[in-house]
Amino acid sequence: MNTDTLGPFKSATVDWRVSEGLVDYPDAVAIMERRVAEIADHRAAELVWLLEHPPIYTAGTSADPSDLLDARFPVYQTGRGGQFTYHGPGQRVAYAMLHLRHRKADVRGFVHNLEAWLIRTLAHFGVIGERRAGRVGIWIERSDGGEDKIAAIGVRVRRWVTYHGIALNVAPDLSHFSGIVPCGVRGHGVTSLAALEVQATMADIDAALREEFATVFG
């Protein structure tokens, strides 16, 4: 696994970890599961982990096998909610390991807060992200009236500790999404900050995520 940067991304109540390079998905899941157990047992602080994965597809608990159109990348079954999604370089993944018993024991409310976190982060870059009824994730309205997905959400909760989280398309190769029906939603596209001609580094994204996390989650 790659070297992590802690430094300024640490507070008294929530640890922040930023991994440089690409983190293999099975390694990330193992680390999350271990940390979730430690948080549940009051042996570790809550954690927000920012990283990128190599190109992969992951299948949530509601994934329809017919939505895997071209398994050009490794496919991983995962216990998170949701359907198929893509992860890869240029996408900022944020895994949030938070103890809902110490916050608010409301999973729907937690997902709503994840959406607010993304919307507020996008606003830093002049991008209007929106929720859509019946569709998970954050959406961007195109000038032609169509809609594209810019961020995905998928969570799991064990012993009231959350894990998995969000994935924001900063500058990934959008052609990689063509191997799946993202989140089972047909008739809509995917986009990224780069495709919207927003110039933002991962450091810029991380700073905005950290600031808005404090606003939304306290």
The residues spanned by each domain of the chain are 4-217
For the segment 109-126, what is each residue's pLDDT rounded down to a tens digit?
Answer: 999 999 999 999 999 999
Rounded to 5 degrees, φ, ψ at 116 are -60, -40
- Domain 4-217: give its CATH superfamily: Bira Bifunctional Protein; Domain 2 (3.30.930.10)
Q: What is the pLDDT of residue 37?
A: 97
Establish how many alpha carbons lie within 13 A of residue 24's alpha carbon, considering only the half-sphere containing its beta carbon: 5
**Where does the pLDDT of residue 80 fall: very low under 50, low under 70, confident under 90, or very high at 90 and above?**
confident
Query: Rounded to an integer, what distance in angstroms lies between the CA atom of residue 140 and that of residue 146?
Result: 9
Q: What are phi and psi of 15, to 5 degrees?
A: -80, 145
Model confidence at 6: pLDDT above 50: no
For the question of residue 25 being annotated catalytic, the response is no
Q: What is the pLDDT of residue 187?
A: 67
Angle (deg, nearest 10), helices 107-123 and 202-217: 130
From CA 69, how far away is CA 74, in angstroms rounded?
Answer: 13
- Phi then psi for 155, rounded to 5 degrees? -130, 160
Catalytic residue among 183, 185, 190, 209: 183
pLDDT in tens, 130-178: 999 888 899 999 989 889 999 999 999 999 999 999 999 999 999 999 9
Residue 1 pLDDT exceeds 60: no
CA separation for the pair 120, 216 (Å, rounded)? 9
